[in-house]
Amino acid sequence: MQNHKTISQAIYQHLENAQDILIVSHQKPDGDTLGANLALHKLLLDKNKNVTSFCLDPVPQSLLFLPYSHNISNDHKVFTKNYDTVIVVDSGSLDYAGIDRLITAIPTKYKIINIDHHASNPHYGDINLVITDASSTAEVLYRLFSDWKINWNKEIANSLVCGLVTDTGGFRNPATTYQSLDAVADLVNKGANPHQIMSLTINNTNVASLRLWGRALERLKRNPKYDLVYTFITNQDLLDCEASEADSEGLANFLHILKEGKISMVLKESKDGYIKVSLRTTSNVDLSKLAQYFGGGGHKKAAGFSLPGKLVYDNNKLKVV
Ligand SMILES: [Mn+2]
């Protein structure tokens, strides 16, 4: 942690002198990337900075409860304005954030502050705070804000708890540590309401989504050779169940409850002609390395990558074509 304290101070010093700050979440946003973005957003607004928050995709309905969520822009024009600082949260790369090209349009010189917890993060920022044993970027920010002794408020506390709740699957996955729970306990003391956040996020499903999960669960297969359990979702499934791609989110995490298989894998077709592969394990296999081999990334116990192609299920066999 001694190294993190030095980086924490470097970020603090930089932000004290910064004026125009862009905060970027990753595309297809989740509760962690948006919670982290908006906690920083509120903190920097309170410090009278000019703050712009960006995400390539719109805020999902289920996360609109986050304080200041309406301040998140997905207008590419925000990249034509002047900034001295770009903070990227919860993104293993600029490409993963979806801004690798957009960022080149910023006319001024700026520094990138990279705040993340993905094991595959290659430290692409000018200042990098990447804590891979943190459950979430929200937990990284909790440690940062605690170092800085900020003036806490309910909005910041709720935004951070949203990241902690969603990235730990309600404190159930192996990323949940003493430090995650300690952070949440303290944030509750500062006004956050984890029960309400859980019922708005992870305990917030719909009929279309459950029908889609039903299809995927019915198809679960074991591969004894690799001690793997897997299933898949096609674009046709989305049409048949009147579900959206977002409705399959959480399925890979849900498979954590399985006692069979070292690794669980969910393959999902996406509309852009790719197959998204999500991997989870409760064993010591480092999935981030496996995912990086295929051009993806993530954490040791939860990682993913994409492949071009389609899924074909024929004769009880799944093929990628
Ligand atoms: Mn995260």
Q: Which residues contact 248 (CB under 8 A, 6 or more apart)?
A: 209, 212, 213, 216, 233, 266, 268
State the pLDDT confidence band at 257, using cuts at 50, 70 and 90: confident
Angle subtended at Cα 134 by Cα 130 and Cα 137, rounded to the nearest 5 degrees: 65
Indicate the CATH number of 2-200 among 3.40.50.300, 3.30.360.10, 3.90.1640.10, 3.10.105.10: 3.90.1640.10
CA of 315 to the centre of ligand 1 (A): 38
pLDDT tens, residue by residue, 18-35: 999 999 999 999 999 999
* Residue where the block lists tokens 């430090």: 179
Q: Which residues are 222's β-sheet partners?
A: 229
Q: Which two tokens stand for residue 8?
A: 């924490």
Tell me what the mean pLDDT of segment 77-86 comes to: 98
Least Cα distance to 276 among 92, 28, 33, 35 occurs for 28
Instruction: Specify the pTM.
Output: 0.86
Identify the residue whose tokens are 């595309």. Answer: 27
Quick: pLDDT tens for 176-226.
999 999 999 999 999 999 999 999 999 888 999 999 999 999 999 999 999
What's the confidence (pLDDT) of residue 249?
Answer: 86
Question: How far, in Å, is the centroid of ligand 1 from the Cα of 92?
Answer: 10
CA of residue 199 to ligand 1 center, whole Å: 19
Distance 216 CA to ligand 1 centre (A): 24
End-to-end Cα separation, the chain, in angstroms: 46
Q: Over range 162-180, report the average pLDDT.
A: 93
Question: What region, left, alpha or beta, does residue 242 occupy, with left being phi > 0 and alpha being psi -120 to 50 degrees?
Answer: left
Backbone angles phi, psi at 260, to 5 degrees: -90, 150
Q: What is the distance in A from the centroid of ligand 1 to the CA of 33?
A: 6
Ligand 1 geometric centre to CA of 168 (Å): 9
Report pLDDT for 271: 86
**Mean pLDDT for the stretch of residues 155-183:** 95
> What separation in Å is there between the alpha carbon of 21 and the centre of ligand 1?
21
Question: Could you tell me the distance, in angstroms and rounded to a whole number, from the CA of residue 116 to the centre of ligand 1?
Answer: 7
Location of structure tokens 């990235």: 167
From the list 178, 190, 118, 188, the residue with the least C-alpha distance to 153 is: 190
Do the bridges between strand 85-89 and strand 127-130 make them parallel or antiparallel, or are there none, so unpaired? Answer: unpaired
The alpha carbon of 31 and the centre of ligand 1 are apart by a number of angstroms equal to 8
32 alpha carbon – ligand 1 mean position (Å): 5
> Which whole number is the average pLDDT over 76-97?
97
CATH class, 207-320 region: alpha beta
* pLDDT (0 to 100) of residue 172: 87
Bridging pattern class, strands 302-308 and 274-281: antiparallel
- C-alpha of residue 95 to centroid of ligand 1, in Å: 16
> What average pLDDT does this structure show over 51-61?
96
- The H or E element containing residue 291 is helix 287-293
Give 1: exposed, middle or buried? Use CB within 10 Å, 0-12, 13-18, 19+: exposed
Residue 2 pLDDT exceeds 80: no
Å from CA of 117 to ligand 1 middle? 7
Please report which confidence band the pLDDT of residue 95 belongs to, taking 50, 70 and 90 as the band edges. very high
The pLDDT of 84-101, averaged and rounded, is: 97
pLDDT digits (tens, 9 = 90+) for 280-307: 998 999 999 999 999 999 989 999 999 9
Reply yes or no on whether the pLDDT at 91 is more than 60: yes
Q: Is the pLDDT of residue 73 over 90?
A: yes
Residue 181 structure tokens = 């729970």
Give 260's DSSP letter. S
Give residue 252 CA to ligand 1 midpoint distance, Å: 15
Asked if the model's pLDDT at residue 1 lies above 70, the reply is: no
Residue count (the chain): 321
Query: What spacing in Å lies between the alpha carbon of 136 and ligand 1's midpoint?
Result: 4
Would you state the structure tokens that stand for residue 217, as one six-digit string? Answer: 């669960």
CA 195-129-82 angle, to 5 degrees, is 95
Cα-to-centroid distance, 240 and ligand 1 (Å): 31
Q: In what order do the strands lie in the sheet with 85-89?
A: 72-73, 50-54, 20-24, 85-89, 111-116, 127-130
Across 47-76, average pLDDT: 97
Question: Domain segments of the chain: what residues?
Answer: 2-200, 207-320
What 3-state class would DSSP assign to 88? strand
How far is Cα 36 from Cα 44, in angstroms, rounded to an integer? 12
| Residues whose beta carbons lie less than 5 angstroms from ion ligand 1 | 32, 90, 136-137, 167
How far is the centre of ligand 1, averaged over its atoms, from the C-alpha of 30 (Å)?
A: 8
